[in-house]
Amino acid sequence: MNNLILCGFMGCGKTTVGQRLAQLAGMGYLDLDQQIQEENGMPIPQIFAQLGQDHFRRLEHQAIARLAQREGYVVSTGGGALANPQNAAAIDHLHDKVVFLDAPFQVCFDRIRESDRPLVQQNTPEQLRALFDSRRSHYLAAADLKVDASLPVDQVARAVLDALP
Ligand code: S3P
> Can you tell me the distance from the alpha carbon of 106 to that of 111, in angstroms, rounded to the nearest whole number?
9
Task: Look at residue 165 in the predicted model and tell me its pLDDT.
Answer: 79
Give the pLDDT band (50/70/90) at residue 82: very high
Q: Where are the beta strands (DSSP E) in 33-126?
A: 73-76, 97-102
For residue 100, report the distance from its CA to the centre of ligand 1, in Å: 15
For residue 63, report the distance from its CA to the centre of ligand 1, in Å: 14
Task: Look at residue 95 in the predicted model and tell me its pLDDT.
Answer: 87
Give the pLDDT band (50/70/90) at residue 1: low
**Residue 44 beta carbon below 6 angstroms from any ligand 1 atom:** yes
Tell me the per-residue pLDDT of 100-153, one tens digit each, with 9 for 90 and over.
999 999 999 999 999 999 999 999 999 999 999 999 999 999 999 999 999 999
Report DSSP letters for 137-148, one per residue: HHHHHH-SEEEE
CB 108 within 8 A of CB 63: no
Give the predicted TM-score (pTM) of the model: 0.97
**Which residue, 86, 80, 44, 45, is CA-closest to 65?**
86
> Can you tell me the distance from the alpha carbon of 103 to that of 105, in angstroms, rounded to the nearest whole number?
7
Tell me the per-residue pLDDT of 28-63, one tens digit each, with 9 for 90 and over.
999 999 999 999 999 999 999 999 999 999 999 999
Task: Look at residue 139 in the predicted model and tell me its pLDDT.
Answer: 98
> Can you tell me the distance from the alpha carbon of 163 to that of 99, in angstroms, rounded to the nearest whole number?
10
Q: Kindly give the number of the ligand 1 atom that is closest to the alpha carbon of 80.
A: 11
Angle subtended by helix axes 85-94 and 125-142, to nearest 10: 30
Which residue puts its alpha carbon closest to atom 1 of ligand 1? 79
